[in-house]
Amino acid sequence: MLRIALAEDSVLLRAGLVELLSRVGHQVVAAVGTAGELVQAVGAVRPDVVITDVRMPPGFRDEGLRAALELRQGDPTLPVLVLSQYVATAYAAELIGGLPGAGGVGYLLKDRVGEVTEFLDALDRVAGGQTVIDPEVVRVLLQRGTADRPHDRLTPREREVLSVMAEGLNNQAIAQRLTITEASVVKHSGNIFSKLDLDPSVGNRRVLAVLAHLRREDRNT
């Protein structure tokens, strides 16, 4: 069971998330409608994980993201899962690149909530300290390739592996998803790291591979 602090300004979606999370055995210890309320609630209830929308009152810009960054600065071990209505690669880059510490971090589209099994699995992995990026975000990044960008060097299969890798899955899960062998996953992963000019000695290269794309995108996306 996870103790969850939830911030979502849509009353219907917030209620739906509370119902879903409670039904599978989690405890929603705070369910609020603004970023400010989220920061206050987390300080009071100390949840296991935070779920927050990006755009929240009063400005409906990036208040939820700012709250997530603030909370992680105060507690680098706090897992944070951010939900977004649209693919905004700059938000994803800032979230993942701006959250230091050992806590898990995730960036999912709200549509993913409707895919209940995938959403709950992503939540569990974020709560467990992993990094999870919505595969649609990676797909958009790969479609925006232009000349002189390292990800243009990737083959179609390598792009598929990278997209699934972004979900935080291990080699076995990637192999099952793409119906290939684990040996093939290892080979493709090695090619991805090489083509993106990543140092093999650096830890957590899967996350770095994704960030190599996110950080090349326009911050105003």
pLDDT digits (tens, 9 = 90+) for 98-146: 655 667 888 898 888 888 998 999 999 999 988 888 877 777 766 665 4
What is the spatial distance between Cα 47 and Cα 43, in angstroms, rounded to a whole number?
A: 9
User: How confident is the model at residue 134, as a pLDDT?
Assistant: 83
Contact 30, 5 (CB under 8 A): yes
pTM reported for the whole predicted model: 0.78
Domain spans of the chain, in order of start = 3-133, 138-214
The pair phi, psi for residue 132, each rounded to 5°, is -130, 125
Among 1, 6, 3, CA closest to 18: 6
Assign 2 a pLDDT band (cuts: 50, 70, 90). Answer: very high
Fold of 138-214: Arc Repressor Mutant, subunit A (1.10.10)
What homologous superfamily does CATH list for 3-133? Response regulator (3.40.50.2300)
Give the pLDDT mean for 19-40: 96
Q: Please write the tens of the pLDDT for every residue from 136-175.
A: 777 776 666 544 566 678 898 998 888 888 777 888 989 9
Q: What share of the chain is helix, strand, coil (3-state, %, to 5)?
A: 55, 15, 35
| pLDDT of 87 over the 80 cut | no
Task: Find tokens 């400005």 and name the residue.
Answer: 59
Within a 13 Å sphere around the CA of 24, how many CA atoms are in the beta-carbon half?
15
- % of the chain exceeding 70 in pLDDT: 78
